[in-house]
Amino acid sequence: MTDMQHKPNGWNLPINQMTEEEWKDYFDCRKKYDIKLSDEEINKITKEACNYLKDKEKYLKLTKKLPLFPGLAISAKAWHGLKAIKNYNLSIAKEVYPDEF
């Protein structure tokens, strides 16, 4: 089965309504951004991001690579919907909440 056949819990709530094209984009983002990182990789990205605290664009680009904490990811989904978190790394959140993302 494809990812499109396994839409996450709450996919049909008003906050998560998407066209089929938007769902395709969402699942493409999951493949692109949900990368399991080692502690060393996380530390490296974190240290590099600290070099760009005054450059919001570069800082956000780097920190979006870091896995969101599961509690933060599920809260963001509930408050802002799946579209708002599609460009973030949800790899750890998907382990804790496998049916939510």
- Residue-wise pLDDT for 50-98, tens only, equals 999 999 999 999 999 999 999 999 999 999 999 999 999 999 999 999 9
DSSP codes, 65-86:
TSBPPHHHHHHHHHHH-GGGGT
Contact 64, 32 (CB under 8 A): no
- Residue-wise pLDDT for 19-58, tens only, equals 999 999 999 999 999 999 999 999 999 999 999 999 999 9
Q: What is the pTM for the complete model shown?
A: 0.88
Q: Any idea which residue has 């509930």 for tokens?
A: 78
Average pLDDT, the chain: 95
